[in-house]
Chains A and B, each alone.
Chain A
Amino acid sequence: MRIVVQDAPFDFGEEAERFAAGRSDVGAIVTFSGIVRGDGDLDVMEIEHYPGMTEKALEQIAGEAKERWSLGDVLVIHRYGPLRPGEKIMMVATAAPHRKDAFEAAEYLMDYLKSRAPFWKKERAGEDASWVAAKDEDEAALDRW
């Protein structure tokens, strides 16, 4: 299990390749990456987080996924700081013997880190700045687990 919280960009292809390299214990790898969507005239998405708690929360979420599904490994990378449209915000990767576990665990990780990991997004467009509000549907998404 690897959890990384950083301001620097990451290389999605390289991370996915490294995660998959040399594995013969699993038969499925799922990767997901979230990128900054250039809605309207968005210039910058600023991501704030709670150093210390962020890492703990991600470890806890990944640990729960490992208990729930048969997983060979889990990777979570999440960035903070100012990001421009098109930049990658985060990625998760799951490795499992079979694809169902890998897909479900990846969705679980995404659902939980959306509303249970201490990150906050602020959008800047020209002179305007506003905090992104949490959506009810993101909270509701946790009910299915």
Chain B
Amino acid sequence: MDVLYFAWVRERIGIPKERIETEAATVSELVDELRSREARYAAAFADLSALRVAVDQELSDFDATLSGAREVAFFPPMTGG
């Protein structure tokens, strides 16, 4: 699936997007997998209360299932307007 990062999450991880082969069943499992990869991921995902997640471009939460998901995005709380 495609994993996208925005704003400071993108800066901390260092890339805007990557393709990941994963068996993760939920967003939380995907986060655990990413955290264990490298320090920059662990830093970006250190505090989940500071993060929001979208699954297939719909706002979601960390317990959400990933079955059939094509795109997951992580970003800080939004500041539009």
Interface residues of A (CB under 8 A from B): 34, 48, 50, 52-53, 56-57, 78, 89-90, 110, 113-122, 131-134, 138-139
Quick check: is B44 within 8 A (CB to CB) of the other chain?
Answer: no
Bound state CA distance, A117 and B6, in angstroms?
A: 13
Bound state CA distance, A48 and B76, in angstroms?
A: 12
Quick check: is B59 within 8 A (CB to CB) of the other chain?
Answer: yes
CB of B79 within 8 A of CB of A119, answer: yes
Chain B residues, CB < 8 A from A115: 77-80
Chain A residues, CB < 8 A from B77: 115, 133-134, 139
**Considering only CB atoms and an 8 Å cut-off, how many residues of chain B contact the other chain?**
16
Q: How far apart are A15's CB and chain B's nearest CB, in angstroms? A: 17
CB of A120 within 8 A of CB of B81, answer: no
Interface residues of B (CB under 8 A from A): 4, 6-8, 54, 57-59, 73, 75-81
Q: Add 5 more A-B contacts to A116-B80, A119-B79, A131-B7 (CB < 8 A).
A: A48-B6, A57-B59, A118-B6, A118-B73, A120-B76
Chain A residues, CB < 8 A from B8: 131
Q: How far apart are B54's CB and chain A's nearest CB, in angstroms? A: 6
Bound state CA distance, A122 and B9, in angstroms?
A: 13
